[in-house]
Structure 1
Amino acid sequence: MSAWNLGGADSVALVTGAARGIGAAVVDGLVREGVTVAAVDVEADGLAGLAERSEGRVVPFAADVADAAAIADVVDHVERDIGPIGIGVSVAGILRPGLLCETSDQDWADTFSVNTTGAFVVLRELARRMVPRGSGSLVTVASNAAGVPRTGMGAYAASKAATAMLTHCLGLEVARHGIRCNVVSPGSTDTPMQRQLWTDETEGADLARVIAGAPEQFRVGIPLGRIADPADIADAVLFLVSDRARHITMQNLFVDGGATLRV
Structure 2
Amino acid sequence: MAGLLQDKVALVTGGAQGIGLAVARAFLAEGAAVAIADVRADVLEAAAAGLPGRVLPVTLDVTDEAAIAAAAEQAEAAHGPVDILVANAGAAASGPFDKTERATWDAMLAVNLTGVWLTTRAFLPGMVKRRSGRVIAIASTAGLVGYPYVAAYVAAKHGVVGLVRALALEVARKGVTVNAVCPGFTETDLVAQSVATIVAKTGRSADEARAELAKSNPMGRLVTPEEVADAILWLAGQGAASINGQAIAVAGGEVMTG
TM range (shorter): over 0.9
Amino acid at match of 1:205: E
Task: Tell me: CA distance 1:89–1:31, structure 2 relative to 1, closer, same or farther (3 Å).
Answer: same
Residue 260 (1) aligns with residue 255 (2): yes
Distance 1:162 1:13, change over 3 A: same
Residues 213-252 of structure 1: CA deviation (Å, up to 9, x unaligned): xxxxxxxx21112210111111110011111111111111
Asked whether the equivalents of residues 240 and 248 of structure 1 are also in contact (C-alpha less than 8 Å), the reply is yes
Q: How does 1:39-118 map to 2 (within 5 A)?
A: 39-118=36-115
TM-score by length of 1: 0.91
Match of 1:205 among 205, 208, 217: 208
Match of 1:218 in 2: none
Q: Please give the secondary structure, in 2, of the residue aligned with 1:177.
A: coil
Provide the aligned length of Structure 1 versus Structure 2. 252
Gapped runs of 5+ residues in structure 1? 213-220
Residue identity matched to 1:55: P
Shift of 1:204: 2.1
Amino acid paired to 1:103:
T
Specify the code of the residue in structure 2 equivalent to 1:209.
E
Report percent identity of matched pairs: 38
Alignment of 1:1-263 (within 5 A): 5-6=4-5, 8=6, 10-198=7-195, 199-200=198-199, 202=205, 204-212=207-215, 221-263=216-258
* SS across alignment from 1:176: coil
Deviation at 1:54, TM superposition (A): 2.2
| Residue in structure 2 matched with residue 216 of structure 1 by the alignment | none
Deviations 1:128-152 (A, max 9, x none): 1111101001100001012211111
Q: Please say if residues 28 and 53 of structure 2, whose CA atoms lie closer than 8 Å, have aligned partners that are also in contact.
A: no
- What are the ranges of 5 or more consecutive residues in structure 2 without an aligned counterpart? none
User: How many angstroms apart in 2 are the aligned matches of 1:262 and 1:162?
Assistant: 17
Q: What is the CA–CA distance in structure 1 between the aligned matches of 2:18 and 2:31, rounded to whole Å?
A: 21
Residues 97-144 of structure 1: per-residue CA shift (max 9 Å, x gap)? 111111110000011111111000111111011111010011000010
Provide the aligned C-alpha RMSD in A: 1.5
Tell me the TM-score normalised to structure 2 length.
0.93
